[in-house]
Amino acid sequence: MTRNDSQQGQNPQLTTRQGHPVHDNQNSRTIGSRGPMTLENYQFIEKLSHFDRERVPERVVHARGAGAHGVFRATGKVGDEPISRYTRAKLFQEEGKETPVFVRFSTVGHGTHSPETLRDPRGFAVKFYTEDGNWDMVGNNLKVFFIRDALKFPDLIHSQKPSPTTNIQSQERIFDFFAGTPEAMHMITLLYSPWGIPATYRHMQGSGVNTYKWYNAQGEGVLVKYHWEPKQGIRNLTQDEADRIQATNFNHASQDLHDAIERGDYPEWDLYVQIMEDHDHPELDFDPLDDTKVWPTDQFPFRHVGTMTLNRNPENVFAETEQACFGTGVLVDGLDFSDDKMLQGRTFSYSDTQRYRVGSNYLQLPINRPKCQVASNQRDGQMAYYVDTFDGQDARVNYEPSVLSGPKEAPREHNPHTPYVEGKLVREAIERANNFGQAGQQYREFADWERDELINNLSGALAGVDSRIQQKMLEYFYACDEDYGRRVEESIQAKESQLQEVAPAPYGRETSSKQGPISSSPPTEQSAISIQLSP
């Protein structure tokens, strides 16, 4: 039985799991349309907390991953300016200061043993073990995302995952969701271009995607975006190149990263930031907190702040790469959240997922434990194997305040960052959506071969899907750029004509024996096919 008998015969109506009608499933409850969100967001918390627990024990997203240890070296500046003007975060302050890091690269939508050649965003998560505790920068290879409100994240991922009835992924399901999500056009344009399949983890960019904040010793804040640029150069694959690699090696990206580090060819990335004053910037045709948009570099240039080098492979993949736990809320002094609704939703979801997937004491695992003193007064729970106390602490005292023992509140060295928030509590979309402008600009900036690949991939995905979905997506493509829409439409028509002419061939070949082999012999070795990775 798939539903309660009491629901039989009723008109379909979206509800919470408590049976409460859902009147708005597009927007979280926020103070003003730009945010921030509020903790009493019951519909959001119920939806996301259940979504975080949908898989056991594999990650719901970012299941397939590879990791490495390394070090981050700061320049002490942001571009040519002293970095202390913008942030008091200690890891950035001194030229040459080194901070240990662990990085996990991943595919997003597919399972643990899926090929690394699939068209999919790539995760780029960095854990900095700073003197003030951990800082996790959790992002992707592409600089934008599909949605701008975390309330829609379970819906997005459900559409990308296999059907619950066939266990097969379907382009129709994927584009059925996108047909009602015009904000996804920028990400779709990137994902179905060659940028949708990075050649290796070493040759891909990283981005924080969301808008964060920095604040200085005076408590003054600015908006900031993070960007990792590979010093090895950027390489992506066409679909044909990816297919050829997948035919012989579905672990190619993990193997490439591991082998490069083993031979001493340590990959490096420069970290850049873009900085913007902290207000709503009415002069822009988009909201700077919208994660489906990039900030134009002519107005907000990239500024170099340091370099990361990966120089050591994990000794145990499960203990390190698979149990590494990241969260967008893991920030140190001098770094902060913005009101970005997607970021605030991720901040709840990530750490909640880790407590479910790995356990309530996941921060006691060596790969996740800070390298500074921890004294939290938190106790017990699943798999607790030590207590967060300091030398000489009376173990009977697990509370604060206490005149007997226990950790004391840290003295405040600087002014706190106290952003001003005002507005009605509403469920509203942001005012400056501009869903198609940057997607069209990206299409026009692609090289000819990148546009050709984009059109071929999109039309191949859309050929044969429900005509209502096709028409809606074509409406979006035309809104982005007239040539974009026309070419996708013509290519869909051509591919559908081919599909009608060619019947699918059966898998395999008929064997000559009805009985099967009398004896078996070991297969002959096949030589690996060398694939040239295209820049």
Round to whole Å and give the CA distance between 72 and 306: 7
What sign results for the dihedral spanned by CA atoms 12, 16, 20, 23? negative
CB atoms within 10 A of CB 379: 11
Residue 127: helix, strand or coil by DSSP? strand
Output the CA–CA distances (angstroms, integers) from residue 186 to 49, 74, 145, 481, 513, in the order listed.
28, 32, 8, 12, 54
Round to whole Å and give the CA distance between 310 and 292: 29
The verdict on whether 62 is a catalytic residue reads yes
Residue entry with tokens 């779709």: 188
Find all residues with CB under 8 Å of 301, minimum gap 6, and list them: 79, 274
Q: Which two tokens stand for residue 294?
A: 């990039």
Strand 122-130, strand 221-230: pairing = unpaired
One DSSP character per residue, 52-121 reads TTSSSSS-SSS-SEEEEEEEEEE-SEETTEEGGGT---GGGSSTT-EEEEEEEEEESSS-TTS-TTSS--
Round to whole Å and give the CA distance between 304 and 298: 15
Helices 153-160/171-178 angle, 10° precision: 150
Residue 481: helix, strand or coil by DSSP? coil
Helix (H) or strand (E) segment spanning residue 489: helix 482-501
Output the CA–CA distances (angstroms, integers) from residue 199 to 5, 242, 266, 268, in the order listed.
51, 8, 17, 16
Q: How many residues does the chain have?
A: 535
Residue 31: helix, strand or coil by DSSP? strand
Which of 248, 380, 298, 315 minimizes the C-alpha distance to 68?
315
* Beta strand segments in 181-334, E: 206-207, 212-215, 221-230, 268-277, 303-312
The verdict on whether 456 is a catalytic residue reads no
Round to whole Å and give the CA distance between 497 and 494: 5
Q: Tell me the Ramachandran region of residue 71: left when phi exceeds 0, alpha when psi lies from -120 to 50, beta otherwise.
A: beta
Round to whole Å and give the CA distance between 148 and 187: 11
CB atoms within 10 A of CB 376: 12
Q: Which of 140, 249, 434, 457 is catalytic?
A: 140
Q: Which of 41, 62, 252, 398 is catalytic?
A: 62
Find all residues with CB under 8 Å of 349, minimum gap 6, and list them: 48, 49, 51, 52, 150, 153
Main-chain phi, psi angles of 134, to 5 degrees = -75, 145
Residues identified as active-site: 62, 140
